[in-house]
Amino acid sequence: MPDALTPETVEPLLRGRFGRPLHYADRCESTQRLLEPALAEGAAAVCNEQTAGRGRLGRGWDAPPGTAILCSVLLRPPPARAVAELSLVGGLAVAETAEAALKLSAQIKWPNDVLVNRRKVAGVLAETAGETVVLGIGLNVNQTREQLPADATVQPASLLTTDGTRRERAPILADLLARLEEAYDRWRAGGLDALYDGLGARDFLRGRRVFVDGEPGLGIAVDRSGRLEVEIAGARRLVESGEVLFER
Ligand code: BT5
């Protein structure tokens, strides 16, 4: 099956301004480092293999060559908008993309994971560089179970391990870029309020037993400013950033 993410394959499938220009590398350390800040908003970098893929908080992101979508997009958000919200904007676009491919519902685990059947199929990383934000997305497409990390805190999955179907990555990448552009434009104009129906409906931690800094509690909801409301020892608390674990 032809399965390249080169510009010749992807560009004819693009529906909007995101993905132009598209920078492709067969192999790179991280797509997060391939975008010059002077490029147009929506410029994207993709690769077939990352040698030092990055997660949040100094963690790594791993995928065997040719199995996943590893993509970064350059954004220039208005100063009035909170950059931390972009992980959720990206998460929503990835969740919709996974749903369109799988015909199954996907959830967003605050602040940056996309889950299907309680397993992580994608992660989003927003990094600020001056006035730009590089939004990185890793979506597991064709990894087999053995090719997914064995030691991850949230159990991983790929589209392949979810429904047994091997897929071409280029149409999924083009769909993801179009959905990201749409979600981003709505956020630019109206903040998370404008995306709240889609986010709220996919809020994985709502009503779930969680651990925040080791303390057990209950997930209430992601609020309209992108914070996670939790209840711990009978008191409501808003979590701004970090990691929340859930009971399997
Ligand atoms: C994330 O971090 O979920 C953000 C991942 C962003 C990756 C993209 S790929 C394109 C762009 N270029 C980059 O260098 N990065 C971005 P975090 O929540 O910190 O999750 C990282 C943790 O997930 C690791 O510590 C592993 O346990 C686990 N992990 C690593 N690879 C994984 C994979 N392919 N699928 C699921 N989990 C994975």
177-187 pLDDT, tens per residue?
A: 999 999 999 99
CB atoms within 10 A of CB 135: 26
Residue of the CA atom closest to atom 11 of ligand 1? 136
Is 0.95 surpassed by the pTM of this model?
Answer: yes
Q: Are 246 and 208 in contact (CB under 8 A)?
A: yes
| CA distance linking residue 223 with residue 232, whole number of Å | 17
Report how far apart, in Å, the C-alpha atoms of 132 and of each of 15, 74, 76, 83 are.
23, 7, 5, 10
The ligand 1 atom at the shortest distance from the C-alpha of residue 53 is 14
pLDDT at 222 over 60: yes
CA neighbours within 13 Å on the CB side: how many for 82?
13
CA-nearest residue, atom 26 of ligand 1: 152
- C-alpha triplet 117, 158, 152: angle, nearest 5°: 80
Q: What residue's CA is closest to ligand 1, atom 25?
A: 59
Other residues' Cβ atoms within 10 Å of the Cβ of residue 15? 13
Give SS3 for 248.
coil
User: Which of ligand 1's atoms lies nearest the C-alpha of 63?
Assistant: 34
Mean pLDDT, residues 222-238 = 96
Q: What are phi and psi of 5, to 5 degrees?
A: -110, 25
Residue 247 has pLDDT above 90, yes or no: no
Measured in whole angstroms, the distance separating CA 101 from the mean position of its chain's CA atoms is 15
Contact (Cβ atoms closer than 8 angstroms) between residue 43 and residue 73: yes
CB-ligand 1 contact for 71 (6 Å cutoff): yes
* 190 C-beta neighbours (distance < 10 Å), count: 12
The answer to whether the peptide bond before residue 21 is cis (omega within 30 degrees of 0) is yes
Pocket probe for ligand 1: among 30, 61, 69, the residue whose CB has the most ligand atoms within 8 Å is 61
- Residues 93-142 pLDDT 10s: 999 999 999 999 999 999 999 999 999 999 999 999 999 999 999 999 99
Q: Which candidate, 110, 70, 85, 96, places its Cα nearest to that of 188?
A: 85
Q: Residue 228 has which token pair?
A: 């996670």
Peptide bond before residue 2 is cis, with ω within 30 degrees of 0: no
For the residues 241-248, what does the mean pLDDT come to?
86
User: Distance between CA 235 and CA 53 in Å, rounded?
Assistant: 38
Mean pLDDT for the stretch of residues 189-195: 97
Confidence band, pLDDT 50/70/90 cuts, at residue 2: low
The pLDDT of residue 197 is above 90: yes
Query: Is any ligand 1 atom within 6 A of the Cβ of residue 217?
Result: no
> Could you tell me which of 219, 212, 207, 214 has the C-alpha nearest to residue 241?
212
Match 């970098």 to its residue by tokens: 45
| Mean local confidence (pLDDT), 63-80 | 97
The enclosing H or E element of 45 equals strand 44-50
Q: Is 90 in a helix, a strand, or coil?
A: helix
Q: Which atom of ligand 1 is nearest to the CA of 243?
A: 18
Closest CA to 3 of 48, 44, 46: 48
Locate the ligand 1 atom nearest the alpha carbon of residue 152 and give its number.
Answer: 27
Rounded mean pLDDT, 73-90: 96
